[in-house]
Chain A
């Protein structure tokens, strides 16, 4: 079956540091890959997505590249801000049909000034 593995948190960084959150997956076929973010007290929001191999998703300075050969979709940002403090979830889902996303356990990011 499908599964997603994320690095455990919390990840603690100072403002302007470089961020990497690792995500690897196991899936049949060719899934779409997603990063969702959950800010304190808010619902899950889509951060970025990629629908096929070698696609790069990007949003708000975050990037992730769909690597089929390493079954990975690592999240990166060159310079984090305090406002990026949140829980980040990697997820995969089918490219067609209904979308029962499979989520990782989430990685908490804490950014200090």
Chain B
């Protein structure tokens, strides 16, 4: 059994560049979540998918952030025109359609914007 996997684990980019992160959830999970974690803070919810439908995206930080899950399996999170304030750990989590709210997290993708 593989857990949630994220790629890349670490991305260093220059301000103004676009970056994309990929998340592969646990295969039988139909719900997928993106969170952001900055130093000294807990994870902060960004967006949520049920299958391929993005059911909540109002918490994305700006219109430079977008996420997709085109076939209801893997998901991508794109940040356009990165800013230094975007430096953070981006976490992906998945969960089954039923249950008591437990999320299964990946190891995260760390973004450093120079």
| A residues neighboring B (CB under 8 Å) | 4, 32, 34, 36, 41-46, 49, 51, 89, 91, 93-95, 98-106
Contact = CB atoms under 8 A, between A and B. Distances in A.
B83 to A, nearest CB: 23
A103 B40 CA distance: 12
Nearest to A44: B105
A51 B102 CA distance: 11
A27 B65 CA distance: 28
B87 to A, nearest CB: 18
A41 B33 CA distance: 21
Interface of B: 3-4, 31, 33, 40-45, 48, 50, 55-56, 59, 91, 93, 95, 100-108
A72 B9 CA distance: 35
Contact of A101 (B3, B41, B45): B45
Contact of B33 (A36, A100, A104): A100
Given A43-B4, A105-B42, A94 B91 contact: no
Contact of A43 (B33, B48, B91): B91
Given A89-B42, A101-B45, A103-B43, A95 B107 contact: no
A32 B100 contact: yes
